[in-house]
A and B are shown apart, each in its own frame.
Chain A
Amino acid sequence: MSRFDWLSEFLARLEDEHLLVHSGHARLLAPAHRLVLDAEDWGNAAKVAASLGMRHAGVWADCGADYRPAGSDEDGQPVGRRHQNEPAGSRPPDSIAVYACLEKEGDYVVLEARVPLDRPKLPSQTPRFPGLDRLERHCHDLTGVVFTGHPDTRRWTRHQAWPADVFPLRADFPAAGHVTCQIPADADYPFTTIHGSGVYEIPVGPVHAGIIEPGHFRFHAMGEDVLRLEERLGYVHKGIEKIAVGRDPTGLARLAGRVSGDSTVAHAWAACQAMEHAAGCAVPPRALWLRAIMAERERIANHLGDLGAICNDVAFTFALMQCGRLRERWQRRSRELFGHRLMMDAVIPGGVTCDLAPAAPRTLGDDQAALRKAVLPLFDIIDDHPSLDDRLLTTGRLSATDARSLGCTGYVGKASGLPFDVRRDCPYPPYDTLEVRPSTERDGDVAARVRVRMTEVLGSLDLLDVLLATLPEGAVTAPVPTAAPGAVGLGLVDGWRGEILTFVRFGTDGRIARFFPRDPSWFTWPALERLILGNIVPDFPVCNKSVNGSYSGQDL
């Protein structure tokens, strides 16, 4: 499936830099290629990757893994399988594994390095990949890994709920957390300040006027011009990575469906995909088709909601009402056929919970035809309304350079000229049999993001038609074999916001030992800080809505 035209070049460049790759493995973290490095080579590997124009897809650490010294698994056997005769947890883990996932031309590599638990230091990759800034800070707050040379050493996910020298993802931290009576407000976070005459600060949030999630935005403005925007997130940190530990696969799928409620299908799919890869489970085709149908339905519902909300932010209420009406009908049908308005808990390991009745495809087909008929004139209005054009064109422009350096995917990347789409560039079934139309724009402004979303709605409708027409018969679930202790798996799914990456490692008894879902919002939140520059304060809401990062998906 994977071409990996560039892998040999990457390996050669690593060798030129005298970076030792201890082992490589093509299947362990499929579809990614796993490369084990020394911790001290971590930063230079990023340099090589950046020079090859690779995109960073995230960094995470795993504290609980029972590892042997690096380089001892050259034969490439999954670590866990060779350890089956040795009960895991018989000795305390003495190292932390750090992973970094990189992508180029639709092919992924996962770099892995180990750092000792008592001195968990390795060079930061943020100087080469600025989008990693918060992921590395998050990683430090939760696991204690110190990224040397990181340009920003302030806390990120940690507010005041636990002390600076305690790391919740370490094995010695209780899953229930420490009982505290009242967590103090995170009032002394050192925001970057700008001094100058006429410069003033506008603090916004974390509690907002609308029914949205909490996040703090600190503006520095002069008159109405934004000089700097700094985000402070983490207000909805739920400890998802910690409470995942010890769950069974079904329980993890439920949890993954709650990483970000609006992407529940995509996150649950990514988690199930990772577990199925790790456990070696073959999902029946009908279940895969149904997952794709649900994922495309989710994409359409969210894009419709956002299109309306973007127009409403510039006081064009007509579009909000129309999109809201269409979305509501769409979600009611989801509830009727898939058991939940957002299709929560419909994706389970090994398949899906709900099968479509024989008459259902016809109903869905009629819905799709009706929706297409309804959105075409509506999209014409949104696309070609002078008053909207005036507000949306050139507003909140994200350059292709910024989008690429931050690693934006989904509609934010596509609007800035990055066509990457997991469904097309690294297709997972059933998308390997489908043609996903590109929806790339070049301008990178709010209007471009609106156009990408409109194209994606129509593209998803086309995909749904094909999926329904080719829906295979058969079972919708398959039994999931108990995964071997230490088995790892990677899930890569294109959610409506962009690429979702999920890492799963199993512990004993087929229970989860490590779960890391990386929402695309990790890279689009920093993009918002950049694209707002040069805009005026009252244009922030529409810029924010056009990006619509997930607070919950990023705070974890």
Chain B
Amino acid sequence: MGNFLTGSGWGIAALQSLLYIALAPLLVGWLRKVKARLQNRRGPSLLQPYRDLYKLLAKEARVAHTTSPLFRAAPYIVFTATWMAAATVPLLVVDLPTAAIADIIVLVGLLALARVFLALAGMDVGTAFGGMGASREMLIGALAEPAMLMAVFTLAMTAHSTNLSSVIDHHLSDGFVLRPSYLFALGGLVLVAIAETGRIPVDNPTTHLELTMVHEAMLLEYSGRHLALMEWAAQLKLLLYGTLIVNVFFPWGIGQGLSPAALGLGLAAVVGKLAVLAAALAVGETVLAKMRLFRAPAFLNLALLLSLLGLLSHVILEVGA
């Protein structure tokens, strides 16, 4: 916690938070590009998500007559909560002040806050699709959160801390140790991430079929800047989960000081790792079709089971070893 309360520490933390919102559309652009290539298409430019956001921000926001003020407020709350959650995950360097004041349970809580407001906004319009989307989102959320917490606890028990920075520090200082508990937790977290970010095979982010939507169904009535914020929040969430996976389980390269060299190396490392992760996700999304909705609980139960096995294997194999 050496950088706690120092000015430069806060400066870097602010920079890192801004980097999150700046990089989130790029990750989606890259993911779409790889998917297009895998389908023998050229695909849109990497910058297309930025252009889409710009277009939406410039457009007039139309709001249905049937909505309450909650509908207008929800995009800001969802975006801010997701952004704050993202700020707690080390992107370039560890030991930032933001990481010290918010641990992984806060992160799960902030994401839950965003989800609640997203679902409320979906129901607020009063259309059948919004309600359907909200109910499906809650079904997935209710099953994903315990699995995520369980995976997180596995990490926390190894590092004896629920602070992400400490977990990463612990992992780095341990050197390369192949821990069965980490493998299980990684599996669980990947499945949770796929479900939580609405990717195939749980949800299809590019569908136009209202009846099959989960996440998109709640956004159907949004337009203009509201829609831009919601989309941006979804992109942030994808980056957040991606960073969580690559930096916690493969932390090598992350900066451990505030020197420009460490920051540069940290940025290059995380971009490279995320590019590989997104490419792997794109391959998965290309070879898989979407599951039936009622298979999603089984999918998340598997995530819970993996996380639980991680916890058990930690207790049985690693404690005291």
Contacts and interface: CB of A to CB of B under 8 A. Distances in A.
Interface string B287-303: 11111111100000000
A321 B289 contact: no
B1 interface: no
Query: Which one of A313, A321, A385, A538 has the highest number of Cβ atoms from chain B below 10 Å of its Cβ?
Result: A538
Nearest to B39: A321
A534 interface: no
B39 A314 contact: no
A541 B212 contact: yes
Contacts of B207: 315
A325 B39 CA distance: 11
B210 A317 contact: no
Contacts of B289: 311, 314-316, 385, 387-388, 390-391
Nearest to A201: B128
A189 interface: no
Nearest to A540: B211
A359 interface: no
A210 interface: yes
B200 interface: yes
B65 interface: no
A210 B132 contact: no
A354 to B, nearest CB: 32
A201 B288 CA distance: 31
Nearest to B129: A202
A318 interface: yes
A204 B210 CA distance: 9
B38 A539 contact: no
Contacts of A203: 128
A322 interface: yes
Nearest to A321: B39
A322 B40 contact: yes
A224 interface: yes
Contacts of A422: none
A428 interface: no
Nearest to A223: B135
B201 interface: yes
A315 B286 contact: no
Contacts of A315: 200-201, 204, 207, 285, 288-290
B35 interface: yes
Contacts of B286: 317-318
Contact of B209 (A202, A210, A316): A210
Contacts of A314: 289-290
Contacts of A19: none
B39 A538 contact: no
Q: Interface on chain A toward B: helix, strand, loop, or mixed SS?
A: helix
Contact of A537 (B35, B204, B211): B211
B188 to A, nearest CB: 21
A318 B295 CA distance: 22
A70 interface: no
Contact of A390 (B132, B210, B287, B292): B292
A200 B128 contact: yes
B139 to A, nearest CB: 9
A79 interface: no
A536 B294 contact: yes
A209 interface: yes
Contacts of A200: 128
A202 B209 CA distance: 14
B292 A538 contact: yes
Contacts of A540: 211
A311 B207 CA distance: 12
A318 B292 contact: no
Contacts of A311: 289
Contact of B40 (A202, A210, A325, A541): A325
Interface in A517-553: 536-541
B288 A387 contact: yes
A387 B201 contact: yes
A178 to B, nearest CB: 34
Contact of A209 (B208, B287, B291): B208
A325 B36 CA distance: 13
A202 B289 CA distance: 25
Contacts of A388: 289
5 contacts: A202-B128, A209-B210, A315-B200, A315-B289, A538-B292
The 9 A-B pairs at the shortest CB distance, nearest first, are namely A315-B290, A315-B204, A316-B289, A209-B208, A321-B39, A541-B209, A202-B128, A387-B289, A538-B212
Interface of A: 200-204, 209-210, 224, 311, 313-318, 321-322, 325, 385, 387-388, 390-391, 536-541
Given A315-B207, A318-B38, A537-B211, 5 more contacts: A202-B211, A317-B206, A322-B39, A390-B292, A536-B292
